[in-house]
Amino acid sequence: EVQLVESGGGLAQPGGSLRLSCAASGFTFSSYWMHWVRQAPGKGLVWVSRINSDGTSTSYADSVKGRLTISRDNAKNTLYLQMNSLRAEDTAVYYCARELPRYYYVMDVWGQGTTVTVSS
Amino acid sequence: DIQMTQSPSSLSASVGDRVTITCQASQDISSYLNWYQQKPGKAPKILIYDASNLETGVPSRFSGSGSGTSFTFTISSLQPEDIATYYCQQYDNFGQGTKLEIK
């Protein structure tokens, strides 16, 4: 079964850090571009970041550039999101998602999400 | 930056109704427009990609059309399990969502 499972969410203080993980199974992880998408409480979906299949190319939403870093370990079939200098507005459910090959930004498999709360 | 404007923001319809949601892009995006369904407390699910391609396993009552700046998502006959919020997406831009409720 194709599956993505996020972990690492929790409560962090403003200015603090968290690292989210997304464990992939059931498909050849190293062949797929991957994304992080977030959703603040009661709000819509917001794209956060994208990484290519070998981890050499990344892109970010302006709102997180310089604070959040996407990476991957293809040997461990795991995607990461390192979150530094956290702000209250980073409070959200964070989803990892797989990109459909040859279809730019089409996300065909999603994890269940992990919740990040930034509060003092 | 391209802006995606969805309408309506909420919609109430009866079982069996034909439901239509529109998405307007601020500039020509060809057919690069996707539609997702998100049920409460769940992750989004891709329904339609590249404006009109139905994802494998998605019921045929869902369809999409359009190109350029104007796109339409249609449910031909609303079912109770279709209650969800629907989002259009162009690359890194999501629409604000349409919450669909049963009347």
Can you give the pLDDT at residue A59? 98
Residues with Cβ within 8 Å of B82's Cβ and at least 6 positions away in sequence, in order, are B19, B37, B75, B100
Q: Helix, strand or coil for residue B23?
A: strand
| Confidence class for position B1, pLDDT limits 50, 70, 90 | confident
Contact A106 B34 (CB under 8 A): yes
What mean pLDDT comes out for the span A55-60? Answer: 98
Can you give the pLDDT at residue A6? 98
Contact B94 A47 (CB under 8 A): yes
Helix, strand, coil shares of chain A as percentages rounded to 5? 5, 50, 45
Contact B45 A106 (CB under 8 A): no
What mean pLDDT comes out for the span B47-56? Answer: 97
The whole-angstrom separation of Cα B102 and Cα B100 is: 7
* DSSP state, residue A84: -
The answer to whether A47 faces chain B, any CB pair under 8 Å, is yes
Q: Report the percentage of chain A scoring pLDDT > 70.
A: 100
Q: Which residues in chain B are closer than 8 Å to A58, comparing Cβ atoms?
A: none
What mean pLDDT comes out for the span A88-100? Answer: 98
CB A71 within 8 A of CB A84: no
Instruction: Pull the structure tokens for residue B89.
Output: 């997406």
Query: What spatial distance separates the first Cα and last Cα of chain A, rounded to whole Å?
Result: 39
Contact B43 A111 (CB under 8 A): yes
Task: Indicate whether A61 pLDDT > 90.
Answer: yes
Can you give the pLDDT at residue A44? 98
Return the residue of B nearest to A102 by Cα.
B50
Residue type, B97: G
- β-pairing, B10-13 vs B19-25, is unpaired
Q: Helix, strand or coil for residue B48?
A: strand
Please give, rounded to a whole number of angstroms, the shortest distance from the CA of B83 to a CA of chain A: 16
Can you give the pLDDT at residue A85? 98
Please give, rounded to a whole number of angstroms, the shortest distance from the CA of B18 to a CA of chain A: 24
Contact A106 B36 (CB under 8 A): no
